[in-house]
Amino acid sequence: MNSSNTREALMQYAVRLGDDALILGHRLSEWCSNAPFLEEDLALTNVALDYIGRARMFYGYAAELSGDGRSEDSFAYLRDCREFTNLLLHELPRGDFAFTMARQYLVDQYALAFMEALLQSADAQLAGIAAKAVKESRYHLRRSRDWMLRLGDGTEESQRRLQAAVDELWGYTHELFELDDLERELVAAGVAVDSEALKPAWEAAVRATLDEANISVPADDWSVRGGRQGNHTEYLGHLLSELQFMQRAYPGLEW
């Protein structure tokens, strides 16, 4: 790769990580004033803030790399569905509380390992963002893992709901560990995380948690992918219509 290609690839990578963070952050923020009780409301919105902060850092870096006057807001508010490159797991509707916590647990277990690996990136800015994120993800995981045990080992209803959530989410987790050409090139350059390599440890940790939570591990008999290529579920457009409404209706609006 020549240097302008590398820069473009790095920008796209930063946008991908920004998209993951923004979309999940938005889903979590939907719980604001809707959570089952006050402490959970605070917790979910605090985690949402961590993710939205992460998105700002990744988009801010992408904007800097683009060198064409784009800002973090251009990435968040002025792109359509097909231009978003988040992994599909992040965009699924929040569902019930069990669904939200099951998704969060699966993501947290992944995000912690991902950010620990990104700490080693040859790119100083990505490593710097990871240094902040890794500390937050440690807290996120402690909490979401605790909820897995409480719901799975709770009432008949909470166990049933959690099992249904895990079953529905499982097919979306495979995509977390797949690399395309862009990421393979950046892995070779020491910049990106080799997410394929994260799978064995992730799966071992998740299986242990599910066992402890009385949840059976779903079969690997279906999987969905496409987020990194801009092929999304029907849900993302609805999310964006809410997220982007103000900037679309009043372009350039500032608080």
Binding residues (CB under 8 A) for another protein: these are 25, 39-40, 42-43, 46-54, 56-57, 124-125, 127-129, 131-136, 138-139, 142-143
Cβ 76 to another protein shortest distance, Å: 13
Choice between 47 and 151, CB closer to another protein? 47
Cβ 53 to another protein shortest distance, Å: 3
Choice between 88 and 129, CB closer to another protein? 129
Choice between 109 and 173, CB closer to another protein? 109
Cβ 44 to another protein shortest distance, Å: 8
| CA distance linking residue 134 with residue 22, whole number of Å | 17
Instruction: Supply 72's token pair.
Output: 């973090």
Instruction: Say which residue the tokens 């993951």 belong to.
Output: 20
| CA distance linking residue 154 with residue 4, whole number of Å | 54
Cβ 226 to another protein shortest distance, Å: 27
In angstroms, what is the C-alpha Rg of the chain? Answer: 18
Choice between 10 and 88, CB closer to another protein? 10
Cβ 150 to another protein shortest distance, Å: 13
Choice between 62 and 88, CB closer to another protein? 62
Torsion of CA 46, 50, 52, 57, to 10 degrees: 160
